[in-house]
Structure 1
Amino acid sequence: MNHKAAVFLLCLATVQVFCQSSSPKYQPGTITAVAVHQPAPGEQPSDAPKYDLSIVIGDTNYLVLYTPPNGAKTVEYSAGLDFLFLVGSDTLTINRGPTGTAELPILHREALPAKSGLDWSKAPSQYYSLKLENLTKVLNLSDDQQARIKPILENEAGKLRTLWNTTVLSNKDKLNTLEKIVRSSDKKMKPLLSEDQVRILTDLRKNQKQELKKRIEEQTASKQN
């Protein structure tokens, strides 16, 4: 499984991005770091706070500049959150779900080294640390919804811990089992969500499954050639 397939596998499990459009130009990405922007030599200083966001999309890492809107002093993003991004020549457009989109200037980009596959030993910690936070962010969960969904995620985490630790299943079998586990959790969560939240979750799952299937088919075809 290549790096892109691994990214989509984690996205499938974490419900971290919300797609208002079915446009294939948008790609899932992960914010990996947030830091206060330090002006480069010759750059005019600004009273408004600015932040550097590191974002991994596919096999590329982007460094973009984020300026909080309306003079806000804090940044609304944090490392580990997933969104959909539209990659332009000089900007990244982030789809923030119900709050709309934002265009961020690209300061730097670099290709990441190729990875041979998903590191199953690290996947659980990545998964567990992001799931509830991303659900809350993407679906705008209330405190009551978070409290009621937490036991569902704890049960899911236990099943996935066993899945990731098994040595008798191939990665393909693990992927199929993971999808069944996540689908079961979604079924339990949907009665706790509003109609809009259910729609967001359903659309997200559909897009992620299509993208993951596409990546796996591409990998299979490359092995046959």
Structure 2
Amino acid sequence: MYRFSLVLLLCFAGLPSVAQATSPKYAPGTILSVERHQEAPADTSLVRYDVKVQIDDTAYLVLYTPAYGSNTVEYSAGLELLFSIGKDSLTLATPGKRDSNAELPILTTTRLPPQPLIDWSKAPGQYFSMKMKNLSTNLDLTEEQQAKIKPIAEQERAEAGGVIFTPVVSRKERLKSWDKLVKKCDARMKPILTDAQWKKLQEMRKEQKRELSDLIAKKDKEDEK
């Protein structure tokens, strides 16, 4: 995989608020790869790039054309930006420039294999950040909801470290402790959520518990070998 310099269109100073229902909705996307686009022989002077972006469970290959005469900075795999998904293109959020958002034509789309709601292998060190991202994305939380839920998630993270990620307690007991902790925190979040968000959260909890149960069963089998 080649790494090229592209014009970085996104500033991290802040994001424009969504003030109207007709405003585009942005979702976080992660750059997977950046490669020079293969142009026709007659277009050797044209410089464009194939950029692969993962948004949720879909990978989009989009065509990026740098602005003429702009200064360039490195734009590489692993960078997380905000995109709006259109029928034929992705729109890259450009804070402070509502009329100059970059539209990237979609070349191909690929549905990715299902991923765990939470990467439990990273949970001990990234429990809080993963939880907030998971809730914000799947429940479509408003900024006000996120602000109210953040201290609840922080408390859950603190308590989880003492009862879930300790090897002193058996894995099954840790699962029981996690279940109790989650139910307690969910009860505090319920007044903040809409009925639809609460229903979705309960579905997510069932899936997370299944993932943890499968992980525990796998680890137990490995220990028996």
TM-score, scaled to structure 2: 0.50
**The structure with more radius of gyration:** 2
Q: Which has the higher helix share?
A: 1
Q: Which has the higher contact order (CA 8 A, sep 6+)?
A: 1
